[in-house]
Amino acid sequence: MQLNVEQKRIIESKPNGPMLIKGVAGSGKTTVAVNKIPLLLENYCTQDDDNVLMVTYNKSLLKYVLFIYENIEKEYDQKSFFWENNNKKLRIQNVDALTYYYFKQYVSKYKLNLKLSNRKEAQQALIDAITTVSKKFPDVKIIDTKFLDFIKEEILWIKACNYMDLHEYQGVDRIGRVSKLSSEGPQKLRKNSEQRYAIYQVLEQYDENLRKINRLDFQSINLMALEQVRKKPLKKYTHILIDESQDLSKVQLEFLKELYNEKPYSSITFIADIAQSIYSQSWLIKNRSFTSIGYDMTGKSISLSKNYRTTTQIAQAAFSLITKDEELIVDDNFVKPSLIDKQGKYPIYINFKDEASEASYVADLINKKLKHKYKLNDIVIIQRRKNQLKEVQKYLQKEGIPTSIFQSNEEFDFLEEAVKLVTMHSIKGLEFKVVIMIGLNSNIIPSLSRVRDLDDAKMLESRERKLMYVGMTRATERLYMTSSGNPSKFIKDIDYKFLRIKEDCLIRRVYSVDINDYLFKEEINDIYSDEERVRQWILKELNEVYKYPLNLINLEHKINIGSKFGLADIVVNTYRKKVKLPYILIEVKKWGDGVASALSQLKSYMANCPDVQYGIATDGNEIIIINKDLEEISDIPKFDRSMLPSTLESIEYIDLKKRISNSFIKDSTGIGEIYIEENGAERKVTNLTHIPIYNEISADMPILINSEFQGKYSIPSEWIGNNENLFILKIKGESMINKKIDDGDYVVINKQNMAEIGDIVAVDIAGDATLKTYKTMGGKVLLMPENDDYEPIMLEENQFSIIGVAVGVIKE
């Protein structure tokens, strides 16, 4: 990615002890950290004992960081004579590999024969421990194998926080642990309680059971590693960069602190996003400060709020999900996301009746659409559980699609020409052009089994919500989301405005319309029916998205079929030669019923109604759109004024320089016929300036420039002059709305390469175009949006060129 001024400032900043870089997903946190490494090596590793360590959370992220660094290394290899020697001072490693290395030193020193237990061994050791301890505490109902998951997580938490002294564990506040055993409601694991004492006894018995078979769990490995590094650190690091630090446990953070070689020019940098904190053992959560691990971050925190990874549309969907977490958004370390307008397509969400249909859709999506535009290694399929991935892998391989499933103990080749299969936990920190999230079912995310037991449901839901947010924000261009059976509650938490039901279709995800807002109430037979809920949704879409006036829409349209007749649920009409004719027929079914019967009925109606041009069959989940030849197509046309009886359109022209507005009337059936209303009468304008129209320009993030000619627009010359340097671009996006430049408007541009401060300019940024207000600040150029929801773009003078200055806006 191209580094912006804000990111460069962080990279080039002088090391000064502890620092926190907090930022939203896609803000370039990891990229900034990796780009900082060469500067630290070259300028702040002058002594023999100076070294740089970059720590990642897991193996998949490690591979990704190494992939980024190799590209940066190639650039510096050509620039620095000393680069090869300095590079020997660098270590990039995942935290588990570091702690495991010191664990091996520990067992070697004490001549212990201990190995990491597998899942089955650990599970049996815990079951046996619970069984043994339950006999000693018959009145503590929580000590029961039916609460296995709860006890397992509590033991993990105790070890991760290093509360290995019973007295310390009894006295510590336990965030988010409740017992639903009381009929009066959830009960906290109270301090100095018999419950905590019994759980601690289970922990000790569990460890003892594992030791009997020369085994231990990973949390004990971390504790031994911490003890070893405190006694004998083999190598220290002057500069440490810790990626995904919000996921580290207290033991892991204390371990890394022991590796820190503190000097006047040393640095330890924490890179974090609490919106992506998805592990129960994470230490830096719930407003827990860095002082708890010995660091004062006062004045040493930097925020990156702009998401450069995903498109605006994907970012809107993801942010609408995560901001439903009320506790998260009030956390001191939460970074409120800012939209950077990078125009793309809205995420697609589809629910299927069963997993087989879901897998079939994914295979068809890849084979028939995606692989013609993307490489297979640009595509990733994400699921909540690994066993789900294995099932979908079998299906895709049958369909001839090469796949590569990520295994934590294996190498992960990002360049291999295969679709990647990754769990939601392992995808953290990575990015792909296309993300397909499948299995978003109610019984999978959020996981319900543990909620039924003892866990704090609110905290678990928060973690699961973050997990889904992580998955969504891995996509740079396209995001597809699917489920089978009952969808996850998180689907409803995503604002319906930001999800689409079908590829290349404007119709938004089904949503509930308040019964008080129902349209055509007087024509409805059963206002409470399930089918009516779906019909009201599609009526709203026709009116709000496609802009069809309600006076062109009717319900229960009668269609003669031989000697019988049928009633189409919805008809959209149009006028041809002032005659009202049916244009679109729509058949609806209740949600989840499928569209087979609706489609059959629709085709029958259309075969007997030759004036109809389009048909829609939908149950609110699935939708099929057909043309007059009964062929499936992507979408229906939006409303335009030619569908009304009159052929006249009222157009507004805003002169941005003179700050005045003029109106004229255009006859849509006659090219170049323009009328101006004067003194109550219409005057035909004969002196017109014909301005060429080109493709869309983004009012948000730059979009690819395409000089394809789209026709001409005629404007009275008395308003615009006969300037041959004028051209018109259609606006896409909402970042200039405070200047009355809206999505879909046409902007008149005067071609020039210079601008004055305050001008609205069309700008070329590395082959992409955007429309913004031109300003300067401290030798930099600021391209300012005119919408408080969007952030400015800061550039150097040599990073862009001015295409032209906006002089007018045409509003149809």
- Catalytic residue ranges: 735, 772
The answer on whether 23 is annotated among ligand-binding residues is: yes
Q: Which residue has the tokens 């498109």?
A: 311
The answer on whether 59 is annotated among ligand-binding residues is: no
Element (H, E) at 124: helix 119-136
Check residue 500 and report its DSSP letter: B
Helix (H, G, I), strand (E, B) or coil at 704: strand
Extract the tokens encoding 262.
């503190």
The answer on whether 30 is annotated among ligand-binding residues is: yes
The candidate with the shortest Cα–Cα distance to 376, out of 434, 311, 310, is 434
CB 432 within 8 A of CB 475: yes
Element (H, E) at 85: helix 83-87
Extract the tokens encoding 698.
């983004």
Neighbouring CB atoms inside 10 A of 32's CB total: 24
Q: Is 681 left (phi over 0), alpha (psi -120 to 50) or beta?
A: beta
Helix (H, G, I), strand (E, B) or coil at 321: helix
The answer on whether 698 is annotated among ligand-binding residues is: no
Element (H, E) at 648: strand 648-655
User: What is the amino acid identity at position 282?
Assistant: S
Spatial CB neighbours of 658, under 8 Å, sequence gap ≥ 6? none
Largest CA distance in the chain: 103
Q: How far apart are the first and last CA of the chain?
A: 38
Report the C-alpha gap between 806 and 679 in whole angstroms.
31
The candidate with the shortest Cα–Cα distance to 236, out of 479, 52, 366, is 52
Report the C-alpha gap between 717 and 238 in whole angstroms.
69
Kindly report the backbone phi and psi dihedral angles of residue 538, in degrees, each rounded to the nearest multiple of 5, phi listed first.
-70, -30
The answer on whether 778 is annotated among ligand-binding residues is: no
The candidate with the shortest Cα–Cα distance to 249, out of 206, 204, 218, is 218
Peptide bond into 446 cis (omega under 30): yes
Judging by DSSP bridges, how do beta strands 746-751 and 726-732 pair with one another? Answer: antiparallel
Give 3-state DSSP helix, strand, coil % of the chain, rounded to 5.
35, 30, 40
The answer on whether 229 is annotated among ligand-binding residues is: no
Helix (H, G, I), strand (E, B) or coil at 654: strand
For the chain, give the number of residues: 812
Judging by DSSP bridges, how do beta strands 301-304 and 17-23 pair with one another? Answer: parallel
The answer on whether 323 is annotated among ligand-binding residues is: no
Report the C-alpha gap between 653 and 250 in whole angstroms.
62
The candidate with the shortest Cα–Cα distance to 731, out of 760, 767, 765, 774, is 760
The candidate with the shortest Cα–Cα distance to 429, out of 242, 240, 244, 241, is 244
Spatial CB neighbours of 170, under 8 Å, sequence gap ≥ 6? 191, 192, 193, 196, 197, 200
Report the C-alpha gap between 799 and 733 in whole angstroms.
22
CB 583 within 8 A of CB 574: yes
Report the C-alpha gap between 810 and 655 in whole angstroms.
9
Sign of CA dihedral 252, 256, 259, 262: negative
Report the C-alpha gap between 431 and 534 in whole angstroms.
36
Kindly report the backbone phi and psi dihedral angles of residue 210, in degrees, each rounded to the nearest multiple of 5, phi listed first.
-70, -40
Q: CA 6: distance to chain centroid?
A: 22
CB 803 within 8 A of CB 768: no
The answer on whether 540 is annotated among ligand-binding residues is: no
Helix (H, G, I), strand (E, B) or coil at 806: strand
The candidate with the shortest Cα–Cα distance to 268, out of 71, 51, 428, is 51
Q: Binding site: which residues?
A: 23-30
Known binding-site residue numbers for ATP: 23-30
